[in-house]
Amino acid sequence: LRAGDRVRGYLFDVRTEPRGPQLFISRAAPEFMIELFKLEVPEVGQGLVEIKACARDPGDRAKIAVLAHDTRTDPIGACIGMRGSRVQAVSNELNGERVDIVLWNDSAANFVINAMAPAEVQSIIVDEEKHSMDLAVAEDRLAQAIGKGGQNVRLASRLTGWQLNVMTQDQVSAKSEAEQAVARQLFVDKLEVDEEIATILVAEGFNTVEEIAYVPVGELLAVEGFDEDIVEELRARARDALLNEALAEEEEADENQPAEDLLALQGMDEETAFALASHGVRTSEDLSDLGTDEIVDFGIDGLDEDRAKALILAARAEEIARLERGE
């Protein structure tokens, strides 16, 4: 760009500096594309059609999600225009950036299906906890779904706000079966139920002990063959399992706490002391019994051979002093 050039861009910041106000514009921001559509598409400018989301690889490809607030308006058709004139005008302004226009949906799964266009999604497995979805596509369409350099799935992920994992139907099935097997074994081990009960729980969509312990009772009672006695027993076992886990974690945390005499050693810092404690070296006596190579092999940051040797000598000196004191 040269002084005097006319340029379109999105003004995203204004800063007051000693040399005068500084205006910051961007042609790569998603907001710039949205504003261009407002200029080119009257329905967008008037609010009849809303651009709900936009994701871009600037200069190459973009996806926008649109929604009509008037049932008589086709939001995709309005943005494309007669013979593609409107979307082409936006594309020309952005050096030929190709724009996919998809329909927004308040159902996350349906929105993702739309966002993956032109690829066709056969099935979806949603993981709310990880905010991710596994998408199954036909094997001969896998490359199209992923896109060149992962572009199609990357843009769809940005557009929807979900982490998307694209795979074939066989891969999705294999992953699902493996996860179900893990969940079944978890219930067998933690709830002490037989394989049949564990299989029923997994088939009903339960995957964690926390779910069994805290979901509304009605959800478990809705499972065919489960009565109040079974449900209460399962919930009690689940809560006991969670309590035992919490106690075990607390005990483990206590075991990994460095003793005061280790923390008090000359040259010792808190970070190193906790790192040593995680390897079972909790006291000054524990440290004094080790050799330099053993300490270095722990791979603790900042604990090289010289420092390890110095700390061991300090620990041994402390143990000698303790013996002399008769402790």
Q: Domain range holding 299? A: 260-324
Contact 90, 40 (CB under 8 A): yes
- Find, among 296, 279, 290, the residue nearest to 313 by Cα: 290
Give the pLDDT score at 324. 81
List the beta strands (DSSP E) in 18-131: 20-26, 49-57, 61-68, 98-103, 123-127
**What total of structural domains would you count in the chain?**
2
The pLDDT score that the predictor gives to residue 321 is 86
What separation, in Å, do the N-terminal and C-terminal C-alpha atoms of the chain show? 79
- pLDDT for residue 143: 93
Residue 236 lies in a domain: no
Q: Choose one of 61, 84, 104: the last residue of a domain.
A: 104
Count of beta carbons in the 10 Å neighbourhood of residue 144 = 16
What does the pLDDT look like over 213-254, one tens digit per residue? Answer: 998 989 998 988 888 999 999 999 999 999 988 888 777 666
Predicted local confidence at residue 115, as pLDDT: 96
- pTM of the predicted protein model: 0.64
Look at residue 255 in the predicted model and tell me its pLDDT: 66
Cα–Cα dist 178/68, whole Å: 42
296 within domain boundaries: yes
Integer Cα distance of 104 and 106 in angstroms:
7
Final residue of a structural domain among 104, 121, 154: 104
Please identify, among 71, 104, 137, the residue that sits at the C-terminal boundary of a domain: 104
In a domain, 88, yes or no: yes
Q: Decide: residue 198, CB within 10 A, 0-12 exposed, 13-18 middle, 19+ buried.
A: buried
Asked if residue 295 belongs to a domain, the reply is: yes
Q: Which residues of the chain have pLDDT under 50?
A: none
Distance (Å, whole) CA 135 – CA 113: 9
Q: Residue 118, preceding bond cis, omega within 30 degrees? A: yes
CATH number at residue 307: 1.10.150.20
Cα 228 from Cα 190, distance rounded (Å): 20
The token pair that represents 245 in the structure block:
């886990």
Residue 43 is assigned to a structural domain of this protein: yes
Judging by DSSP bridges, how do beta strands 123-127 and 98-103 pair with one another? unpaired
Q: At what angle do helices 195-203 and 169-191 cross, to 10 degrees?
A: 130
Q: Which two tokens stand for residue 164?
A: 């998307």
- Residue 98: give its domain's CATH number: 3.30.300.20
Determine the Cα–Cα distance for residues 174 and 144; give it in Å rounded to an integer: 22
Q: Write down the pLDDT at residue 327.
A: 66
Q: Which residues fall within 8 angstroms of residue 143, CB to CB, at 6 or more apart?
A: none
d(CA 124, CA 133): 7
Q: Is 150 within the bounds of a domain?
A: no
Distance between CA atoms of 144 and 149, rounded to whole angstroms? 11
Quick one: the chain helix, strand, coil %, rounded to 5? 55, 15, 30
308 within domain boundaries: yes
